[in-house]
Amino acid sequence: MRPRALPRAPFVVATFVGSFLLFQVQPMVARMALPDLGGAPAVWNSAMLVYQALLLAGYGWAFWLARMPVRRQVVAHLGLLALACLWLPIGLASMEPPTGNQVVLFVPLLLLVSVGPVILAVSAQAPLVQQWYAAGGGANPYPLYAASNLGSFAGLIAYPLVVEPLLRLDTQRHDWTIGYLVLVGLVAALGLLTVRHAARTAAATSSQSSPTSTNGVAPAQRRTAGARIGRRQIATWIVLSAVPSGLMLSTTTHLSTDIMAMPLLWAIPLGLYLLSFTVAFADGRRAARWITRVAPVLLMLFGASALMSGGSANFGAATLSLVTLFAVAVALHSRLYDARPPVEKLTTFYLVTAVGGALGGVFCGLVAPLAFDWVYEHPLLVLAAGALVPLRPVLKRFDLTVLPAPRQRTVRAALLAVVALLGTALMFATTVNAQMLLLLALVAIGLLTWSFRSVYVLVLLALMCGMGARGTVPPSLSGDRVRSYFGVYTVLDDTAHHATVLVHGGTAHGIELTTPGLEQTPTAYYGETSGVGLVLDRAPVLFGDDASVGVVGLGAGTLACYRQPGQRWQFFEIDPVVVRIARDSGRFHFLSECAPDATMTVGDARLELGGVPDDTYDVLAVDAFSSDAIPMHLMTREAFDLYDRVVREDGLLLVHITNRFMDLQPVLRALVTDEGWSAMVREDQPSAEDARTKMSTFSLWVALSHTPGVLDERLATVGGEWQPLDDSRGSRPWTDDFASVLPLLK
C-alpha cells in the first residue's frame, strides 16, 4: 500500500516565507548601498542585473538538483542554506568603492560578495519545495507558485508600508536573519518529510506494483511525462513570461512619466503583477477564466491610451491602466499555467519562465532607455499582449472562422483596410463628435471580430495612434525629446506664453522666456520673490562680491541668472543629458549668457560633495528632485552633516521642498531640532501679474544655518516673509539608517 501524500499546508508556508524574505532583502540592501554608491543609473542597472542573475542561478540550482534523488537534493540544499548563514546578518562588505567608470564593475562584485549566497539560496527554494511536494505524492504542485507570489506581494508591500517606516536598517537586518533561520527550519522539516515519504514509497513499490502518481496533472501531460520539451514550447513559455514582465515595467514608466510621478507608485504595478500569478496558478480556475474573458476588452479600451503623453496627474487614468495591467497579466499567466509541463519537468518550466521574466526586465530597464526617446516600449508591449491574449467571439453570429477559407481571407482583408482608414481618420480628426464616432466604430469592429486576431491587433494599433500619435510622435521627429535612465525630457515651445519649457515626465523643470528683454528673467520656482531668489539676488550684500555658490540640481540652469560679476558658481548634476540640454542644445541660454564659466560637476551630488574642501560655499542650494521623486540620501542627517561641512559658518543652506504629493517640512523640522540647525521656510505665491508675464509659480524654499544668530541676521537683510517650519505633523528625522516617505504623503 502506497503511503499517504504529504499535506500541502507546510509546503505553502515555506514557499510563502521564502518569497516574502526575498522581496524584503532587495530594497533593504538598496537602502544600505545608496549613501555609498549614489543614485547614478549605471549603479542601479548593475544591481538589477545582479539580482536577475542570482534569481536565475537559484532556479538553475533547483533545476540541477531535480535530477538527483530526493535525499541528495535535501542534503545539498540544506548545505547551501547553512553556508549562506556565514553572510548573516546581511550587510554590505567593507570594500572601498573606486572612482570613475570602474564603479559599474564594482557594484556587481560588492553585491555578490555581500548578499550573493543568501539571495541564491532563497531564490531556489520556491521551485525546489514544489518539486519536493510532487515527490511526496502531493496533488498538483503548481498552485504552490501562487503561494510563492503571494509571499512576494506581501514582502513587497510590507517593506514600504510597515518595515521601512517603523524599523531602522540595523533592526531590519537582524529581524531578516531571524526570518531566514525560520525558513531554514521549515525547509529542513520539509526535506525530512519528503525523504521519509520517498523511503516509504520505495518500500511499498518494491513489495507490490502500483500506478505512477499523477500529481494532479492532466492525462495528456501524464502521457508525455517523459517526452522532450521542444523549442516551440520553450519559446511559448519565454514569450508568455517576458511580455507581462515587460508590460509591468513599461506601465510603471508610463504612469510616472506621463500620468503622475507620485512616491511609491512603482510598488503598485509590481504588486499587481505578482498577484496575477496568484490568480492564474490557483487551484480554483473560475477567477482566472473570468478575468481572461474580459482582458481583451480592457486592453482595447484602456490600452489604447498607451501612446498618449501629457503629464496630468490623473488618478482615473492611472487606475484604469493598472486594472488593465492586472487583467492582461492574469490572462497571459493563465495561458502559461495551461501550457505547464508534467511535474517531472517542473524545474525546467520555472527556469525558462525566469529567463523570460528577466528578458522583459532587461528590455525595459536597459535596452528601451537607449533605443527610444519616449516610453515607446509601452505601446509595443501592449500590442504584443494583444497578439497573445486569449480571444473568444463575443457573439457566435460574428464568429467568422465558420466561413470558408477563401471568404475568410476576403473578409479579413476588407476589415483590415477599413480599420486602417478609420485609424488614419482618427489621427487627423479635429472635432470631438468626429473623434467619438471614429472611436466607437473602431471599438465595435474590435469587439465583434475577435475571430481574426490580426484585425483585433490592428484595431488596438489604430486606437493608440489615433488617440496619442499626434501629441507624442512629433517631438521625437523634431529632436525636441531625449531620454536617459532618469526619465524622458521634452523641450516644448509654449507660444501662448512666449517661452521654452523643459519638461521631465509631467513636471516643468525649467522655463525660459522668449520675449525680447525677458530672456534672462528667473521663472518657475526660482522667481525673484522665491526664497532662493531673494537670497541669491542679495548675495553681494550678504557675502561680498566674491561669493561662492553651489547648486545641487541643474534643470534648465535658471538659477545661473542670479550670478553676478566676481562670484564663483558650481553646479552638481547627476544626469549628463540634462547638462547637454541646459548648456549645449542651444534651446536654453541661462548658462551660456549668465554663467558661462560656472563649474559643472556631473555625478551624484552627495558623492561629489564628499570631495569638496571644507567651508567652500557661502550659499549651497539643494534642488535635486527627479519630477516629484525625492532622492532620500540627499535629505538625511548624514547628508546635512556634509552640507554643514562645505558651507561656511556665516553661509546659508537652501533646500527646495515644493512637491505635489509630499510634505517635507516635518522631516526637516525633526532634523533641525535634533541637530541644532536654525531653519525658516518661505512660501512664495507669486502675484497674478508675475505668474502671467514671468511664469513664476508657487514654491517652498527652506533656509538653514548651523551657526547661532546667522539665519536671523541674513534673512533680515534678505527681506520677505519667512516662517518657522510646520510642526503640526510629527516625524522622525531621516538618517542613512532610517527614512520613509509614507508618513509624509499628503
CB 171 within 8 Å of CB 36: no
Reported pTM: 0.86
Reduce the DSSP state of residue 648 to 3 states and report it: strand
CA 385 vs CA 245, 304, 362, 390: distances in Å: 11, 12, 18, 10
What are residue 569's DSSP bridge partners? 549
**What domain count does the chain have?**
4
**pLDDT exceeds cutoff 90 at 198:** no
Top-confidence residue, 31 or 282: 282
Residue 184's pLDDT is: 96
166 found inside a domain: yes
Residues 255 and 195 in one domain: no
pLDDT tens digits for range 431-457: 989 999 999 999 999 888 877 899 999
Residues 50 and 195 in one domain: yes
Residues 237 and 207 in one domain: no
CA 698 vs CA 259, 522, 658, 701: distances in Å: 21, 13, 8, 10
242 found inside a domain: yes
Residues 155 and 243 in one domain: no
Block residue for cell numbers 499626434: 470
Residue 218's pLDDT is: 39
Residues 314 and 410 in one domain: no
The pLDDT-based confidence of 174 (bands split at 50, 70, 90) is very high
The pLDDT-based confidence of 291 (bands split at 50, 70, 90) is very high
Residues 709 and 640 in one domain: yes
Residues 243 and 97 in one domain: no
Q: Of 146, 178, 212, which residue sits at a domain end?
A: 212
Neighbours of 107 (CB within 10 A): 22
CA 27 vs CA 22, 117, 163, 402, 408: distances in Å: 10, 17, 11, 53, 53
Residues 340 and 407 in one domain: no
What are residue 599's DSSP bridge partners? 570
* Most confidently modeled range among 52-61, 96-105, 483-492, 619-628: 52-61
Please tell me the least confidently modeled range out of 101-105, 323-327, 462-466, 593-597: 101-105
Residue 451's pLDDT is: 76
**pLDDT exceeds cutoff 80 at 649:** yes
Comparing CA positions, the residue from 220, 514, 487 lying closest to residue 338 is 220
Residue 89's pLDDT is: 93
Residues 26 and 164 in one domain: yes
User: With pLDDT > 90 as the criterion, what percentage of the chain qualifies?
Assistant: 62
Residue 320's pLDDT is: 86
CATH of the domain at 49: 1.20.1250
The pLDDT-based confidence of 102 (bands split at 50, 70, 90) is low
pLDDT tens digits for range 537-560: 999 999 999 999 999 999 999 999
**pLDDT exceeds cutoff 70 at 117:** yes
Top-confidence residue, 716 or 261: 716
655 found inside a domain: yes
548 found inside a domain: yes
Quick one: average pLDDT of 733-740?
A: 91
Block residue for cell numbers 470558408: 404
For the chain, give percent helix, strand, coil, nearest 5.
60, 10, 30
Residue 573's pLDDT is: 93
The pLDDT-based confidence of 138 (bands split at 50, 70, 90) is low
Top-confidence residue, 357 or 200: 357
CA 667 to mean position of chain CA atoms: 24
What are residue 521's DSSP bridge partners? none
Quick one: average pLDDT of 95-115?
A: 73
What b-and-e string marks burial along 482-494, b requiring 16 or more CB atoms within 10 Å of the CB?
Answer: bbbebbbbbbbee
Quick one: average pLDDT of 693-719?
A: 94
CATH of the domain at 717: 3.40.50.150
**pLDDT exceeds cutoff 80 at 613:** yes
**pLDDT exceeds cutoff 80 at 173:** yes
How far is residue 299's CA from residue 292's CA, in Å, rounded to a whole number?
11
Residue 43's pLDDT is: 63
483 found inside a domain: no
Q: Of 373, 405, 429, which residue sits at a domain end?
A: 373
pLDDT tens digits for range 362-421: 898 889 888 999 999 999 999 999 999 998 866 666 677 777 888 888 988 999 999 999
| Cis peptide bond upstream of 89, omega within 30 | yes
pLDDT mean across residues, the chain: 88
Residue 261's pLDDT is: 55
What are residue 620's DSSP bridge partners? 550, 653
CB 330 within 8 Å of CB 323: no
Residue 111's pLDDT is: 86
Residue 631's pLDDT is: 82
Query: H or E segment at 651?
Result: strand 647-656
Residues 327 and 447 in one domain: no
pLDDT tens digits for range 31-86: 888 887 776 655 666 677 788 889 999 999 999 999 899 999 999 999 999 999 99
Residue 403's pLDDT is: 76
The pLDDT-based confidence of 208 (bands split at 50, 70, 90) is low
Residues 268 and 193 in one domain: no
The secondary structure of 3-69 as a DSSP string is PPPPPSHHHHHHHHHHHHHHHHHHHHHHHHHHHHH-S-HHHHHHHHHHHHHHHHHHHHHHHHHTTS-
Residues 730 and 621 in one domain: yes
Block residue for cell numbers 540550482: 61
Q: Which spans in 483-604 are helix H?
A: 531-537, 539-543, 576-579, 590-594
CA angle 565, 566, 570 (to 5 degrees): 100
237 found inside a domain: yes
33 found inside a domain: yes
Q: How would you classify residue 513: left for phi > 0, otherwise alpha for psi between -120 and 50, otherwise beta?
A: beta
**pLDDT exceeds cutoff 60 at 220:** no
Residue 267's pLDDT is: 81
Residue 395's pLDDT is: 65
Query: What range does the domain containing 650 cover?
Result: 527-684+698-744
Cell of 115: 548578499
424 found inside a domain: yes
Please tell me the least confidently modeled range out of 97-106, 270-279, 384-393, 580-589: 97-106
